A and B are shown apart, each in its own frame.
Chain A
Amino acid sequence: MTARDTILASIRRALGVTGREAPRRQAVADRLKEHPRGVVPARGQLPQPERLALFRAMVEAAAGTVEDVRADDVPGAVARFLRAHNLPMAIRRGADPRLAALPWDRERTLAVTTGASRGGDLAAISHAFGAAAESGTLMLTSGADNPTTLNFLPDTHVVVVAAADVAGDYETLWQRLRERLGAAVPRNVNLITGPSRSADIAQTLILGAHGPRRLHVLVVGGH
């Protein structure tokens, strides 16, 4: 008997089942197909203007910063943010067409590189798949458009999110993921709520443990 069979047999023996019971199989198949929503907090179901306001407040509560910008001002906002923090004028991005289409050439002093990070970059910019206002959480998906390494290796992470993609709750994001990507779930779905932190030494909370010390969110189209 393989280990797999041993474990399944042991589970079935303990539960007093065979695994062939039609009602049990149906219950499992139904749940996987229908993925019923459970309790969704009321704060995750706000209409648009309040939803964006909640999103901004929750990002800030999680020690992130947030700014409303027009799409064509994203490069300018990036340059201002880097300058304000005395950071080198360089940023790395993936191949996301929404980022590629931005007027980066307006910022002459800003060096923009593309592709995954190998650890040498101080700042990166990604485009979020969406966000959940209920906790100020960004959702990013892996791939050439927005490489996962950009979310974790640089010290500063700037994330662009379209106001229309800011959902109230996680459930809405799961549903959009299913609708847009079908069975092709990306390797990583990253839910990010604020910058990296640790309180492992003497219960003292410090930002920037292994991931970014700064998380700056640019909401586009929210005016």
Chain B
Amino acid sequence: MTLRATSPAFKENVREALSDVQLQKALGGGLGFTEQRRRAAEKLPEFEALRDSARDIKNHTLAHLDLYLEAYEERVVATGGQVHYAVDAEAARTIILDICRTAAAKTVTKGKTMIAEEIGLNDFLEQNGVVPVETDLGEYIIQIRHETPSHIIAPAIHLNKEQVEEDFRRVHTHLPPDRNLSEPATLLAEARAILREKFLAADVGITGANFLVAETGSSIIVTNEGNGDLTQTLPKIHIVLATIEKLVPTLEDAAQLLRVLARSATGQEMAVYTTLSTGPRRPDDPDGPAQYHVVILDNGRSAMLGGEFQDMLRCIRCGACMNHCPVFNAIGGHAYGWVYPGPMGAVLTPSLIGVDQAGHLPNASTFCGRCEEVCPVRIPLPRMMRSWREREFERHLSPATVRSGLAVWAFFAKRPRLYGLATGIAARALSLAGIFTGRLRWLPLASGWTRYRDFPVPQGATFQSQWKRRKR
């Protein structure tokens, strides 16, 4: 079992998202990340070569994943850490709870980890008497709202500052009600003060990992706030929750990936904090956790190896694909209905929870191709979304209207003369129907389109007849 998905209700989710005034306000300005990414990429002449290098490192690692996993484990153990393996979400949750129980933990601070979202860790810990506290500012905000992240690196991007102010007033009731919270800076200061206490009081700190380095047995986290570092440095126990594809062979390989990660994500040259953690505190260390655990989760990923979706395991979770996606920018992340939104989610989610659950997601694409253009590890996201559409069709999961529509289209497409004739007639009929206005307000069988916008009438001859003429 994993986090419950609302992906099957994608269409309803989208309808809600499009009519959600607050959400549209938050998304309205567009995501500043895209412009920043472009500038960062332009400033580094080697950026494209680094993307190739990053892709190749991930491919090499995935092809030798069993061996790198063994090498990594050996180094973690040699440096005094413990490695736990979890086949699925339930196993991972149980391992983490057991570690918390050995420490009689009351509160657990958490750095940002999408894997913890994937396994529904917070609810589980809470049900078992351990209080999880999210410490990334965005994660903290959505935790007090009982929501899930809407973006993998900017979890609260769907909210505006008035909503955050309202939540802080609702939850931080011990503070004077007349305090000024009108600016993001004052909101941040309040969260910082509250979370500082939590950091110092926590018994266990849980973080994810951006990379696991086989050479040294290190986990690497990349953050801007420093919350991940306080999470893993102050409590007695540090638990790293990571999935198998986070492995990289060496520190040099990690450097290649780090050079493309922050630039692709936020347009920074480097995130503020990139931290390597190796084992528990050493005998002479004045700080750091006494225990260092790594929980390595599979949860369906090993089954993606060797198949047509293996490339998806190269993903380093920068979020560039969703930042650049016109669909994501219109509907936000929650509509996708599970942990991973945007193009990477549209490919990964069906792999992890099944195409029967998430078949709508790969259909939510215009195939504009921007996601692949900006992916730091060059994942062919459009091709893989197309593969999912094919599988969905083969398994008769697509709706009857789509199937019969495709059958009609296929009938004509296989008969080129007939196709040319039919589209020619249709084009002429449509331009006649809209001869005065140049657009149509209603069209049979296309009310899904015309309900929201007019249909522009065809201008002149069909593409195929123009093609024919120009070739001559």
Residues of A within 8 A of B (CB): 2-4, 6-8, 10-12, 14-17, 19, 24-25, 27-28, 31-32, 35-43, 58, 61-62, 94, 115-119, 134-137, 142-144, 147-149, 151-153, 169-171, 174, 177, 185-204, 206, 208-212
Chain A proximity of B90: nearest CB distance (Å): 11
* 29 cross-chain CB contacts under 8 A: A3-B84, A7-B69, A7-B296, A8-B70, A11-B65, A14-B307, A15-B65, A16-B306, A32-B215, A35-B251, A39-B50, A40-B46, A41-B259, A61-B269, A116-B287, A152-B230, A170-B251, A186-B278, A188-B278, A189-B276, A193-B274, A198-B138, A200-B156, A201-B184, A202-B26, A203-B32, A206-B185, A209-B137, A212-B226
Q: Which of B65, B156, B276, B298 has the most CB of A within 10 A?
A: B276
Chain B proximity of A65: nearest CB distance (Å): 15
B49 at interface by CB-CB < 8 Å: yes
A118-B200, A170-B258, A201-B141 given; A211·B273 CB < 8 A:
yes
B284 at interface by CB-CB < 8 Å: yes
Residue on B nearest A61 in the bound complex, by CB: B269
Q: Which of A3, A19, A115, A136 has the most CB of B within 10 A?
A: A3
Whether the pair B229, A194 counts as a contact (CB closer than 8 A) is no
Q: Give the A-B pair count, Cβ closer than 8 A.
A: 274
Whether the pair A7, B87 counts as a contact (CB closer than 8 A) is yes
Whether the pair A39, B256 counts as a contact (CB closer than 8 A) is yes
A25 to B67, CA, bound (A): 7
Whether the pair B302, A190 counts as a contact (CB closer than 8 A) is no
B457 at interface by CB-CB < 8 Å: no
Size of the chain B interface, CB-CB below 8 angstroms: 101
For B62-96 the 0/1 string (1 means CB < 8 A from A) is: 01111111110000000100001111000100000
A40 to B44, CA, bound (A): 11
Q: Which residue of B60, B160, B215 is within 8 Å of A35 (Cβ)?
A: B215
* Chain B positions within 8 Å of A43 at CB level: 44
A54 to B334, CA, bound (A): 42
B210 at interface by CB-CB < 8 Å: no
Question: B144-201: which have CB < 8 Å to A?
Answer: 154-157, 159-161, 164, 184-185, 187-188, 192, 195-196, 199-200
Whether the pair B287, A147 counts as a contact (CB closer than 8 A) is yes
* Chain B positions within 8 Å of A212 at CB level: 226
Residue on A nearest B48 in the bound complex, by CB: A39
Whether the pair B288, A32 counts as a contact (CB closer than 8 A) is no
9 more A-B contacts (CB under 8 A) besides A190-B229, A210-B199, A211-B272? Answer: A10-B298, A14-B303, A15-B63, A16-B306, A35-B215, A188-B278, A192-B272, A203-B29, A209-B224
Q: Which residue of B29, B157, B160, B233 is within 8 Å of A149 (Cβ)?
A: B233
* Chain B positions within 8 Å of A200 at CB level: 136-138, 141, 154-156
Chain A proximity of B206: nearest CB distance (Å): 16
A118 to B286, CA, bound (A): 11
A15 to B304, CA, bound (A): 9
Q: Which of A10, A119, A212 has the most CB of B within 10 A?
A: A10
Chain A proximity of B92: nearest CB distance (Å): 10
Whether the pair B255, A143 counts as a contact (CB closer than 8 A) is no
* Chain A positions within 8 Å of B53 at CB level: 38-39
For B267-306 the 0/1 string (1 means CB < 8 A from A) is: 0111111111111111011111000000010100011111
A113 to B312, CA, bound (A): 50
A187 to B215, CA, bound (A): 15
A11-B65, A200-B154 given; A143·B282 CB < 8 A:
yes
* Chain B positions within 8 Å of A58 at CB level: 269
A136 to B269, CA, bound (A): 9
Whether the pair B282, A196 counts as a contact (CB closer than 8 A) is no
Residue on A nearest B217 in the bound complex, by CB: A185
Whether the pair B281, A119 counts as a contact (CB closer than 8 A) is no
Q: Which residue of B159, B244, B288 is within 8 Å of A7 (Cβ)?
A: B244
A78 to B288, CA, bound (A): 27
Whether the pair B31, A203 counts as a contact (CB closer than 8 A) is yes
* Chain A positions within 8 Å of B26 at CB level: 202
B218 at interface by CB-CB < 8 Å: yes
* Chain A positions within 8 Å of B200 at CB level: 118-119
